[in-house]
Chains A and B, each alone.
Chain A
Amino acid sequence: MGRLRKLLIPGVDKKLLVRDAVKTMPELTRRRFITAGTSLGALTLLTGCDVVDSSSAEELLKKVSKFNDAVQAWMFNPDALAPTFPESMITKPFPFNAYYDLDDAPEIAGADWKLEVRGLVENKKSWTLDELYKLPQEKQVTRHICVEGWSAIGSWTGTPLRDFLKLVGADTRAKYVWFQCADKDGYNSPLDMRTALHPQTQMTFKFADQILPRAYGFPMKIRVPTKLGFKNPKYVLSMEVTNDYKGGYWEDQGYNSFSGS
């Protein structure tokens, strides 16, 4: 483990990463994620260098992933709505999914919780749940698509994030809204501003017309139907409007940062 720790990214919880990765990665070594037993020849061809030097392949893949961020930002149409579905098509039960068991999901006392608002905003006041519940809400029945490939249709109700950003006087020319969450070991994720301003991007307080249960992110999640599931933060503690790319829990481990649908 000692050697592994050095190879991992600072700020990412190592124990947790290992445990989560075990599902898909029985032999966890950071290097291994690039190579595969039978692909050594292919690697040599791609990188044009010695196969032992897999870090250059890794660098190349990271560059392509950045390129893919740009392509996706270019493809992103701020007016294109995610398809909506009738309530009869809602997936029951809607799956709980996280990098930890449900037992380890954050237990937040709604009365004590406050949403912290930071960064490039005029009004940095923190918001209680009661205050947030008073904001106008909308309901959407959309498809949640997981990076793993499965998908499920759910019903989410809450305040459009763009309305809230307007309300707090956010500088919407900033590049990102960065969310920090209460998930164990600190989940966080950046959301590009154009997606944050998308009409369906929502501060969600209800699932299936009920107060958001603990399993789905109580007291607040950010529902982003134009992004993969891991870009939909749950148990949100704070949002920061920023021009800096601050990374994210999964983004830092190699998931494509834009991950738009």
Chain B
Amino acid sequence: MTSLAVSDHQAETATPAKVIQPVWVRMVHWINAFAMLLMIMSGWQIYNASPLFGFTFSRSITLGGWLGGALLWHFAAMWLLMVNGLVYLALGFATGRFRKKLLPITPGGVIADTKAALTFKLSHDDLSKYNSVQKLLYAGIITVGVVIVLSGLSMWKPVQLHWLVSLFGGYDIARYVHFTCMALIVAFLVIHVALALLVPKSLRAMIIGR
């Protein structure tokens, strides 16, 4: 984190070029990435204590060592994830970023851009503008992020927040919702990281802003 901040500062003073990712977006992005990683890896360890499906996660990719340790991590990192997520949502709406960047999403646009992407004809010349597939994926993953936090809260407090757990159809279903959201986030992460590596200047923009 420290090294990111330093290079950021240097870049800003050296070249006052067009900023693609404002500093607040970059900060919440990387804090979120870190918090998500902690949540997912500790979550896998928690899952292992009572698996929903016929498999468990290898201990080499889990965090916490045992259920108690994983719970400590999960219920600590959740604060980072939630506070950071709330800051992101608040600023996303307040600055108009969500409206400008993510809307409109049209079925036609998504289909056309998906075709273009699959035939490697999608343009990445202007990184400040998201194509329709990006808009859909980013809006989708934000929604999934909200649902995973709400389903997690409902399982954490099924009595105090019984209305929330009812909203998910009960405690047992909330567990599956929570797991499914995790799976969607991991799937998103795989695509997201792969594409960032495929278009390295997008990764650069998320680190130094331009």
Chain A contacts to B: CB under 8 angstroms: 21, 24-26, 32-39, 42, 45-46, 60-62, 64-65, 68, 72, 75-77, 80-83, 143, 145-151, 225-226, 250, 253-256, 260-261
Chain B: residues with Cβ within 8 Å of the partner, total of 36
B interface: dominant SS: helix
Q: Is the CB of A147 within 8 A of B65?
A: no
Chain B contacts to A: CB under 8 angstroms: 1, 34, 37-38, 41, 45-50, 59-69, 71-73, 75-76, 79, 157-160, 162, 171-172, 175
Q: Which residues of A contact B34 (CB under 8 A)?
A: 42, 45-46
Q: Is the CB of A45 within 8 A of B172?
A: no
Give the Cβ gap from B155 to chain A, nearest Cβ, in Å: 8
Q: Is the CB of A33 within 8 A of B1?
A: no
Complex CA distance for A205 and B180, rounded to whole angstroms:
40
Complex CA distance for A38 and B60, rounded to whole angstroms:
7
Give the Cβ gap from A56 to chain B, nearest Cβ, in Å: 13
5 examples of A-B residue contacts, CB within 8 angstroms = A37-B60, A45-B34, A61-B69, A81-B159, A145-B171
Complex CA distance for A143 and B174, rounded to whole angstroms:
14
Q: Is the CB of B50 within 8 A of A148?
A: yes
Q: Is the CB of A261 within 8 A of B158?
A: yes
A255-B65 contact, Cβ under 8 Å, with A42-B37, A145-B171: no
- Chain A residue nearest to B38 (CB atoms) is A42
- Chain B residue nearest to A44 (CB atoms) is B1
Query: Which among A75, A148, A225, A250 has the highest number of chain B CB atoms within 10 Å?
Result: A148
Complex CA distance for A72 and B48, rounded to whole angstroms:
25
Q: Is the CB of A34 within 8 A of B159?
A: no
Choose among A24, A75, A76, A261 the residue that contacts B49 (Cβ–Cβ < 8 A).
A24
- Chain B residue nearest to A226 (CB atoms) is B159
Complex CA distance for A62 and B72, rounded to whole angstroms:
7
Q: Is the CB of B63 within 8 A of A24?
A: no
A149-B66 contact, Cβ under 8 Å, with A75-B157, A76-B160, A261-B160: no
Query: Which among B45, B72, B76, B175 has the highest number of chain A CB atoms within 10 Å?
Result: B72
Q: Is the CB of B75 within 8 A of A260?
A: no
Q: Is the CB of B159 within 8 A of A36?
A: no
Given contacts A61-B76, A145-B158, A250-B68, 7 further A-B contacts (CB under 8 A): A42-B63, A64-B72, A80-B160, A146-B50, A149-B50, A151-B171, A254-B72
- Chain B residue nearest to A32 (CB atoms) is B65
Q: Which residues of A contact B79 (CB under 8 A)?
A: 64
Complex CA distance for A143 and B73, rounded to whole angstroms:
26
Give the Cβ gap from B185 to chain A, nearest Cβ, in Å: 17
Q: Which residues of A contact B49 (CB under 8 A)?
A: 24, 147-149
Choose among A25, A36, A150 the residue that contacts B63 (Cβ–Cβ < 8 A).
A36
Q: Which residues of A contact B157 (CB under 8 A)?
A: 72, 75, 260-261
- Chain B residue nearest to A198 (CB atoms) is B159
Complex CA distance for A116 and B73, rounded to whole angstroms:
38
Q: Which residues of A contact B69 (CB under 8 A)?
A: 33-34, 61, 254
A261-B60 contact, Cβ under 8 Å, with A34-B65, A149-B50: no
Choose among A33, A39, A64 the residue that contacts B68 (Cβ–Cβ < 8 A).
A33
Choose among B1, B47, B171 the residue that contacts A45 (Cβ–Cβ < 8 A).
B1
Q: Which residues of A contact B47 (CB under 8 A)?
A: 149
Give the Cβ gap from B38 to chain A, nearest Cβ, in Å: 6
